[in-house]
């Protein structure tokens, strides 16, 4: 499973890139606001740090305006993936981007049928929001499992990008459900490295070895 970092904070991206574990970046308007950057400005910096797919979301809600905004973002760099909301207008815009070989990420996916529509129209990625479904009393990971079956049934090449990840447990479950990608916030990415028994084991090895050198 590929790991993307879900942030617009350039310092977080720099650190995670240095760990050598990230394959791409996803951003959204809320993450841009949190980082205090405009999408254009942040994206231009992120492409110099990560050589992989970088999702940049449009603000427009009407298909023609989405196309115009997305085209301008796609012109920045070939690694830019245009993130569109899974609305009727988003799907119309998706058709245009697919027919012009521009990569897309259909976001705010909450049902298998929405994922099916996006795959039929040639989306590069779809982003089911696991955490937000859990927050609303559903079992978010079941959505990934159902979309996996549908995409495999019809050999869709659209990649499943598990989003709204809230815990290391979500990452593990997304991998078990054969999600193609998980986009993970900085803190949770960092948590993936650690296990108390690893730390304890390292400490024991070092202490044992010191006994030889002390002789
Ligand atoms: O990038 C989209 C998604 O990961 C948002 O997550 O935590 O705002 O539901 P969250």
Q: Judge if the beta carbon of residue 27 lies within 6 A of ligand 1.
A: no
Q: Residue range 103-119: average pLDDT?
A: 98
Atom of ligand 1 at shortest distance to CA of 166? 7
Rounded to an integer, what distance in angstroms lies between the CA atom of residue 21 and that of residue 60? Answer: 32
Atom of ligand 1 at shortest distance to CA of 185? 4
Q: What is the pLDDT of residue 213?
A: 83
Q: Is residue 214 scored above 90 in pLDDT?
A: no
Are 81 and 101 in contact, with CB atoms under 8 Å apart?
A: no
Q: Judge if the beta carbon of residue 110 lies within 6 A of ligand 1.
A: no
Q: What is the pLDDT of residue 36?
A: 97
Q: Mean pLDDT across the chain, nearest whole number?
A: 97
Q: Judge if the beta carbon of residue 6 lies within 6 A of ligand 1.
A: yes
| 159: confidence class by pLDDT, cuts 50, 70, 90 | very high
Atom 9 of ligand 1, nearest CA residue: 164
Q: Which residues belong to the active site?
A: 83
Q: What is the pLDDT of residue 215?
A: 73
Q: 87 φ, ψ to 5°?
A: -115, 175
Residue 7 contacts by C-beta under 8 Å, 6 or more apart in sequence?
Answer: 13, 25, 27, 31, 35, 185, 186
Q: Judge if the beta carbon of residue 131 lies within 6 A of ligand 1.
A: yes
Chain segment 64-83, per-residue pLDDT in tens: 999 999 999 999 999 999 99
Rounded to an integer, what distance in angstroms lies between the CA atom of residue 32 and that of residue 40? Answer: 10
Range 2-214: architecture per CATH: Alpha-Beta Barrel (3.20)
Written as six digits, the tokens of 136 are 């609303």
Q: Residue range 12-25: average pLDDT?
A: 98
| 97: confidence class by pLDDT, cuts 50, 70, 90 | very high
| 129: confidence class by pLDDT, cuts 50, 70, 90 | very high
For the chain, give the percent of residues with pLDDT over 90: 98
Q: What is the pLDDT of residue 42?
A: 97
């Amino acid at each position: 499973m590929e790991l993307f970092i879900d942030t617009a904070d350039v310092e977080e991206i720099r650190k995670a890139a240095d760990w050598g574990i990230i394959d791409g970046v996803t951003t959204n308007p809320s993450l841009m606001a949190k980082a205090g950057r405009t999408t254009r400005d942040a994206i231009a910096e992120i492409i110099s740090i990560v050589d992989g797919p970088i999702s940049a979301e449009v603000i427009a809600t009407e298909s023609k305006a989405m196309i115009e905004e997305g085209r301008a973002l796609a012109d920045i760099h070939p690694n830019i993936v245009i993130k569109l909301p899974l609305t009727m207008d988003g799907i119309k815009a998706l058709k245009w981007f697919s027919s012009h070989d521009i990569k897309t990420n259909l976001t705010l996916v909450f049902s298998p049928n929405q994922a099916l529509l996006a795959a039929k129209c040639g989306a590069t990625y779809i982003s089911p929001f696991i955490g937000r479904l859990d927050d609303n009393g559903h079992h978010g990971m079941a959505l990934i499992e159902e979309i996996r079956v549908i995409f495999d049934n019809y050999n869709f090449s659209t990649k499943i990008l598990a989003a709204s990840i809230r815990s290391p447990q979500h990452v593990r479950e997304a991998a078990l459900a054969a999600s193609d990608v998980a986009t993970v916030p900085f803190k949770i990415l960092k948590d993936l490295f650690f296990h108390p028994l690893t730390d304890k084991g390292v400490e024991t090895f070092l202490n044992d070895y010191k006994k030889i050198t002390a002789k």
